[in-house]
A and B are shown apart, each in its own frame.
Chain A
Amino acid sequence: MKKLIGIAATGAMLLALTGCATSGNAASDGPKPLDELVVGFAQVGAESGWRTANTKDIQASFEEAGIELKFSDAQQKQENQIKAIRSYIQQQVDVIAFSPVVETGWDAVLNEAKAAGIPVVLTDRAVDSQDDSLYVSFLGSDFVAEGEKAGQWVLDEYADSSESVKIIQLEGTTGAAPAIDRAEGFAEVIAENPNLEVVASQTGDFTRAGGKQVTEALLKSNPDVDLIYAHNDDMGLGAIEAIEAAGMEPGVDIKIVTVDAVKDGMQALADGKINFIVECSPLLGKQLVDIVKQINDGEAPEKRIITEETTFTQEEAIEALPTRQY
């Protein structure tokens, strides 16, 4: 591993040298042709199927656009990511993009990038910094909007219902941003209909086992529940197991709404065991390419760009499943 990093570092230095030699016409005067653009991307790692799909999509999108992409994998470590960003600064790439592993501790390295005049784009995750001039744009999902979309489906589904609708919420890891925001967005929307009532809300830690155990226990104390809203697909998949074990039919006796749309979740949706999935898409490569082009043309991209995301019903899932990348 060390050897590899060594080789990469030497390569980076060589590139930096050649970079110096050819950097006579600096980036600031007018747009460069696309095939001369170089973008450095520092990825978090490969911790989940979601992340792998994210990486593949970004690589494919840049290849398609004919823009050179330098890619590094930080294996979930901030220091690796900072090293990668420093090497991109030395190589004088045109744009640096990265998904911060953690929220804090980026000011120093981002200031270096700013001093070198290299614009930085954040993808998928935000940084927590007082100084928002350190990056030009943040491209990622809006978790509150995801909660709202889930809530909207529930609102529409039970629009004609005059009886009380009992809802169980399976929360993500306590304190995690997606868990807080998805709960908030959902609660705001369903408040419109007083018949919709969240009877229990417990954390399933974003895992299948957690979702299953919580659902099992809650089904005993609330056997007449109508709907389960899970903050991610995995907990929803756990809930399916628990509902089946209780001798009921998931998707029919108890409806399920989840967020994410990973492959296993989409399969369950297509099989009729989940009723609705709000997408949290890792496929933000195209939008990232657009931002890079905008910067190259001298335009200022929006400070906050929300990933293009959709929602899936059961019919849409059957259609989308064969071409699903993740």
Chain B
Amino acid sequence: MSALAKMASNRLFWPVVMLLVLFAINLVAFPGFFEITVRDGQLFGSLIDILRNGAPTLIIAVGMTLVIATRGIDLSVGAVAAISGAVACSIILGSPAPGSLATVAVAITVALLISLVLGVWNGFLVAALGIQPIIATLILMTAGRGVAMLITEGQILTVNSPPFKFLGSGFWFGIPVAVIIAAVVFGLAALITRRTALGMFIESVGINPEASRQAGVRARGLLFAVYTFCALCAAIAGLILTANTAAADANNTGLFIELDAILAVVIGGTSLAGGRYSLLGTLVGALVIQTLVTTVYTVGIPPIATMVFKAAVVTIVCLLQSPTTAEALSGFRRRLAVRSGKGVAAS
């Protein structure tokens, strides 16, 4: 009993339960849900799709976790994703050899470098000018999509470049490349922030910037670093999203992905008030969101009701995680226990 209570008090408990419930719903609607087969040397199955389609959201959510831990937020990730996709595709289209590895390498490098500039811009607004993060990143969120539109001249750029496409829909040792990239980003972020004191510094800036400054933590540099890292994550995700369909669509690439990423972080138990964060929680959160999308398709929820269904699931997760509800629930349980205890004594 106490072991179970201990587990339930873990902040990962309810998100994981939710994920399992969603899996169960899928399994009922579609018995082959857990089947993973090898087709042409590639893993193939619903779970693989969830991992692959969830990869961009996860990558952005990793960056977002660190930003949120500093008591910030980055709304511009969707726009940055659109810009990086647009830049890469226009470079590939403009080169004489769109299929060559060198062209694709140049395109990816330039797209990532531009994202670094965009991240430094966000960091500058937040750390140097002291603008509230939600406002500072709102600027790039609105302007960025316009920039992406300018780059693509308002058209959908279709590229025919196998090496670029590999990024989005390719496989490496049977595993989708997008999943490998997400795993690397996740692993690096975890390693750098958790195996060094960096993660603790980020948390301290989020909890009390002034106290951490007096304790010798360089908050400004740290903020620059997290916003730049977040933009880099957004650009990587943007490249994967664009490569997935081999087309840069400035209007739609990464549209509303900032909300998915923030949601993944919140479901994972990291507070928007900053401070303690959990990358593992973010991973579970991103999986919950992507599984939710797949569930809508496999169960066949009509498109008109999709938003309501998603809202209901998210509300349940948030309610279960809230300390107030937990308190109320445990109070209820205690009363129940007392009552049944009395019943036993009386008999």
Chain A interfacial positions (CB closer than 8 Å to B): 45-49, 52, 171, 174-175, 200-203, 205, 207-210, 212-214, 216-218, 220-221, 234, 237-238, 241, 245-247, 264
- A45-B154, A49-B155, A212-B245 given; name 14 further pairs at CB < 8 Å: A48-B155, A174-B303, A175-B304, A200-B297, A213-B53, A217-B49, A217-B294, A217-B298, A218-B298, A220-B30, A220-B46, A221-B29, A246-B39, A247-B40
6 contacts between A and B (CB under 8 A): A174-B303, A200-B300, A202-B296, A210-B252, A214-B297, A217-B297
Cβ proximity bits B76-95 to A, threshold 8 Å, 1 near / 0 not: 00000000000000000000
Closest 4 pairs (CB-CB, A-B): A217-B297, A208-B245, A203-B303, A221-B30
Asked if B259 lies at the interface with its beta carbon under 8 angstroms from chain A, I say no
Tell whether B158 is near chain A: CB-to-CB under 8 Å: yes
Docked CA distance A206–B154 (Å): 16
Interface of A is mostly: helix
**Smallest CB–CB gap between B136 and chain A, Å?**
25
- Decide yes or no whether B241 CB sits under 8 A from chain A: yes
Candidate in B32, B154, B251, B293 with the most chain A CB atoms within 10 angstroms: B154
B30 touches A208 (CB 8 A): no
Whether B244 pairs with A218 at a CB distance below 8 angstroms is no
Contact: A209 with B252, CB < 8 Å?
yes
Q: State which of A202, A209, A218, A220 has its C-beta within 8 Å of the C-beta of B303.
A: A202
Residues of B contacting A218 in the complex (Cβ-Cβ under 8 angstroms):
297-298
> Which of A48, A220, A238 is within 8 Å of B245, CB to CB?
A238
Interface centre among B296, B297, B300 (most CB of A within 10 A): B297
Whether B303 contacts A49 by the Cβ 8 Å rule is: no
Q: CB distance A245 to B156 under 8 Å?
A: no
CB distance from B139 to the nearest CB of A (A): 19
Check if B247 is an interface residue, CB within 8 A of chain A: yes
Say whether B251 contacts A47, CB under 8 Å: yes
Chain B residues proximal to chain A, CB less than 8 Å = 29-30, 32-33, 39-40, 44-46, 49, 53, 153-156, 158, 169, 241, 244-247, 249, 251-253, 293-294, 296-298, 300, 302-304, 306
Q: Verify A220–B49 contact, CB threshold 8 A.
A: yes
- Note all chain B residues with C-beta closer than 8 A to A203: 303, 306
When A and B form their complex, what is the total count of cross-chain residue pairs whose Cβ atoms lie within 8 Å?
Answer: 85
Residues of A within 8 A of B32 (CB): 220-221
Structural contact, A245 and B154, CB atoms closer than 8 A: no
Nearest B residue to A49 via CB reads B155
Q: Report chain B residues within 8 Å CB of A241.
A: 169, 244-246
Say whether A202 contacts B245, CB under 8 Å.
no
- Chain A residues with CB under 8 Å of B49's CB are 216-217, 220
Chain A residues with CB under 8 Å of B153's CB are: 46
For residue B149, which residue of chain A has the nearest CB?
Answer: A47
A206 (CB) vs chain B CBs: closest residue = B252
Chain A contacts for B53, CB-based, 8 A: 213, 216
- Residues of chain A within 8 A (CB-CB) of B169 are 241, 245
Q: Which residues of B contact A213 (CB under 8 A)?
A: 53, 293
Question: In the bound complex, what is the Cα–Cα distance between A214 and B245 (angstroms)?
Answer: 13
If A49-B155, A203-B303, A247-B40 touch, whether A237 touches B298 (CB-CB below 8 Å) is no
Of all chain B residues, the one with the shortest Cβ separation from A172 is: B303
- Given A217-B46, A247-B40, are A237 and B303 neighbors across the interface (CB < 8 Å)? no
Shortest C-beta distance, A48 to chain B (Å), equals 7
- In the complex, the answer to whether A220 meets B298 with C-beta atoms within 8 Å is yes
* Residue of chain A at shortest CB distance from B297: A217
Partner of A234, one of B154, B156, B244, B298: B156
With a CB–CB cut-off of 8 A, which chain B residues contact A217? 46, 49, 293-294, 297-298
B304, A174: Cβ atoms under 8 Å?
A: yes
A52 pairs with B252, CB closer than 8 A: no
Contacts of B251 in A (CB 8 A): 47
Which residues of chain A are near B46, meaning CB under 8 Å? Answer: 217, 220
